[in-house]
Amino acid sequence: MSILEKILGRDEDARRDTPAKPDMMMGKVLDTLAGLGGKPIETLSPQEARLQPTPTDAVKQILRETLKDEDPTLGIQTRDITIEGAAGPLQARIYSPNLASDDLKPLVVYFHGGGFVIADLDVYDGGPRGISRFADVVVLSVHYRQAPENKFPAAHDDAIAAYKWALANAQTIGGDPRKVAVMGESAGGNLAINVSIAARDQGLQAPAHQVLVYPLVGNDMTTESYVENAAAKPLNKPMMEWFVKHTFNDQSETADPRINVVGAADLRGLPSSTVITAEIDPLRTEGETLAEKLEAAGVDVRAKTFSGSTHEFFGMGLVVPDAAAAQTFAAHDLKKAFGTAILPI
């Protein structure tokens, strides 16, 4: 068993006979989400799917009911802006501990999830907000073009364009252009690592660090975690098949190294990495495999799988303890990479 396998807490002989159960607060989020009356996304059109209740809506409902005194902003200020993408303007949001300050802070370029088809800056607000708070950084959250209106590789082209924009304009949003990292959740984790690969291959300034949260980095839907979590919530195998159908021009594109990162991409020379995965998630195995392959390629990597947590948990720090722990885990590594004060862990 490798060092990473020990860190990840994986037993090479273990196979689950029954599906893992979510922790108490994770379960409360899932129950609340079910109570909001959403329909299975795989039965809907993309336009209909974008209007369905989200885990973020469930978290907001719990906050309204039980944590009325909690500050959902975490003291972080935000400002919406427009940046230049690969084929036109993109919506983006700045998160900062203090937008009025003249002091430059490290900058994290963040890409949200949604299978390249659904979700937006509002749905994925909790993650960048928590990272801005705990890592004491400016976060630029980018809303890239989505499929099926803009199929693969439109989102990837936008992600690279957004990173270039951030390097050129960091100071205008309070960021230090010498200290720029990338981060993403799910499909956004895929975009983040592809930005790092593109920076290496195109001779751009390398990200100082990359944080990959339950990244979509493979094309194999027969992995251990896909089998275990085929019917999981909020992400399951039918949903992933639906995302694939709407994202790609044909199935063969899933073999592209930008999608099948763990099977086809060259991972040598990438920045130090944090890989966070959730136990109850079809994408867990490919995320854990990515961490192992990054290590094998000589990349400094720290990885952790959070037991009892599901896909989408990372942004739920106000109600799910493991989400707050995951944000702190990532913030620690960002601060280390940026050379700022390191949080205790």
What is the residue range of 240's domain? Answer: 3-9+20-338
b/e string for 80-98 if b means 16 or more Cβ within 10 A?
A: eeebebbeeebebbbbbbe
Decide if 42 is inside a domain: yes
Taking the CB of residue 47, how many other CB atoms lie within 10 A of it?
10
Contact criterion met (CB below 8 Å) for 279 and 16:
no
12-36 pLDDT, tens digit each: 434 455 679 999 999 999 999 999 9
Q: CATH no. for residue 270?
A: 3.40.50.1820
Amino acid code (one letter) for 124 = Y
Decide if 31 is inside a domain: yes
Contact criterion met (CB below 8 Å) for 119 and 186:
no
CA proximity to 282, closest of 255, 331, 244: 244
b/e string for 158-191 if b means 16 or more Cβ within 10 A?
A: bbbbbbbbbbebbeebbbbeebbbbbbbbbbbbb
Contact criterion met (CB below 8 Å) for 119 and 112:
yes
Decide if 123 is inside a domain: yes
Decide if 86 is inside a domain: yes
Decide if 176 is inside a domain: yes
269-317 pLDDT, tens digit each: 999 999 999 999 999 999 999 999 999 999 999 999 999 999 999 999 9
Decide if 15 is inside a domain: no
Q: How many domains does the chain have?
A: 1
Decide if 55 is inside a domain: yes
Catalytic residues: 186, 281, 311
Decide if 14 is inside a domain: no
165-180 pLDDT, tens digit each: 999 999 999 999 999 9
Q: Which tokens sit at 185?
A: 């959740």
Contact criterion met (CB below 8 Å) for 202 and 164:
no
Q: What is the mean pLDDT of the chain?
A: 94
**Percent of the chain topping pLDDT 90:** 89
Burial class (CB in 10 A: 0-12, 13-18, 19+), 244: buried
110-119 pLDDT, tens digit each: 999 999 999 9
